[in-house]
Amino acid sequence: MNSVLHNRGNYISLFSYLKYIKHRRQQDRLYLKRFAELKRIMKNHALDTYFQPIVDLQSGETFGFEALNRPDYSNLFPNTDQFYEFVGQTNMVFQFEIFCRNLSLKRYIESLTEDRRDLKFVLFLNIHPHVLLDKKYHSGETLQLLKELGISPQQVVFELTERSAVTDFQEFERVLSHYRSQGYRIAIDDVGSGYNSLKTIIFLQPEFIKLDRSLIQNIDQSNTSQQLVSLIFEYVKLSGTKVVAEGIERIEEMQYLQQLGINYAQGYALGRPDKEIKLGIYPLK
């Protein structure tokens, strides 16, 4: 009896192992297919670039745009989140970030009509914090491209996602000082999404913070969100940091934030991402 149970146990272990090997091979094949697709996308510039307006809540004027790069739908990458999650798992993060930044800048200028080039809109570019720390990255390359395109560094904001946690704050502060000396500005994205935003704000003292949409949705009806946003806003005002409220979809949310004194806003109620440069909508006029 014991011998039978022992043999059965070995059979189950062998079956589980073979099942694991099969699954692992399937994952490896999927990875290689996705990696090849990523290289193809970069080679052929096969990303769509969208620009979403950021509006001054107090004046109603369009302040700038956030550049968003998205792949076409495919079986390998059914949605944008899966695509960027995969990029983060590869050794191509640095090359891909540079590729996206250059693509965004070039398409931004291509999309601007002549009569709007003198308006000096601000362009928010998403960037992984680790790229700025990478020794291979030379800021002079971006400065040269900006010069060729007729964009000043003062018009460019590096938007750091809060989910990409900064650990060595002193080193990162030193690196950011270098970029600020060239005219670039810094924004912290996803503030309030539950990571280390307060510590990041204190140490990096960004020129802008972008409040996560989880704080903004139905803020006109939520005392908790109102209190938290008010606390953050009062704190950052002391250091001159401007606040961008993200994810605004309702006029009531916009009205509450305007009355609070929030500087800027972004969301479908103000303008959807578009391949063309379109000024934001301001329904409060």
What are the pLDDT digits (tens) for 1-24? 555 445 555 556 766 777 777 778
Q: Do 111 and 29 belong to one domain?
A: no
Number of structural domains (the chain) is 2
Q: Tell me if 78 is assigned to some domain.
A: yes
Average pLDDT, the chain: 88
The pLDDT tens digits for 42-66 are: 999 999 999 999 999 999 999 999 9
Query: In the predicted model, what is the mean pLDDT of residues 247-273?
Result: 96
Sign of CA dihedral 44, 65, 90, 80: negative
Give the model's confidence band at 283: pLDDT under 50 very low, under 70 low, under 90 confident, else very high: confident
Residue 147: pLDDT over 80: yes
**Which amino acid, 148?**
E
Residue 139: the pLDDT is 60
Cα(253)–Cα(216) distance, rounded to whole angstroms? 7
Q: Do 87 and 149 belong to one domain?
A: yes
The residues that bridge with 211 in the sheet, in sequence order, are: 191, 245
Query: In the predicted model, what is the mean pLDDT of residues 106-129?
Result: 90
Q: What are phi and psi of 156, to 5 degrees?
A: -110, 130
Residue 140: the pLDDT is 76
What is the percentage of the chain residues whose pLDDT exceeds 90? 64
* SS3 track for 125-171: EEECHHHHHCCCCCHHHHHHHHHHHCCCHHHEEEEEECCCCCCCHHH
Cα(91)–Cα(76) distance, rounded to whole angstroms? 18
Which CATH number does the domain housing residue 106 bear?
A: 3.20.20.450
Count CB-CB contacts under 10 A for residue 133. Answer: 14
Q: Do 37 and 159 belong to one domain?
A: no
Q: Tell me if 124 is assigned to some domain.
A: yes
Q: Tell me if 285 is assigned to some domain.
A: no
Q: Tell me if 284 is assigned to some domain.
A: no
In contact, 216 and 246? CB cutoff 8 Å? yes
Query: In the predicted model, what is the mean pLDDT of residues 176-194?
Result: 89
Whether this prediction's pTM lies above 0.85 is answered by yes
Residue 169: the pLDDT is 78
Q: Do 163 and 78 belong to one domain?
A: yes
**Nearest by Cα to 144 from 133, 132, 153, 155:** 153
Count CB-CB contacts under 10 A for residue 278. Answer: 16
Q: Do 8 and 110 belong to one domain?
A: no
Q: Which residue has the higher pLDDT, 104 or 93?
A: 104
Query: In the predicted model, what is the mean pLDDT of residues 59-78?
Result: 95
Q: Do 35 and 150 belong to one domain?
A: no
> Cα(first)–Cα(last) distance of the chain, in Å?
84
Query: In the predicted model, what is the mean pLDDT of residues 60-83?
Result: 94
Residue 78: the pLDDT is 92
How distant, in Å, are the alpha carbons of 77, 139, 267 from that of 133? Answer: 28, 11, 30
Cα(180)–Cα(28) distance, rounded to whole angstroms? 42
**Which amino acid, 88?**
G
Task: Write out the residue range of the structural domain in which residue 115 sits.
Answer: 46-265
The stretches of the chain forming alpha helices (DSSP H) are 2-44, 80-87, 93-111, 129-133, 139-149, 169-181, 197-204, 213-216, 223-237, 251-260
Q: Do 190 and 261 belong to one domain?
A: yes
Residue 5: the pLDDT is 47
Number of C-alpha atoms within 13 angstroms, CB side, residue 103?
23
Q: Do 10 and 55 belong to one domain?
A: no
Q: Tell me if 59 is assigned to some domain.
A: yes
Q: Do 177 and 203 belong to one domain?
A: yes
The pLDDT tens digits for 186-244 are: 999 988 876 566 778 888 899 999 999 999 999 999 999 999 999 999 999 999 999 99
By DSSP bridging, strand 264-265 and strand 47-56 are antiparallel
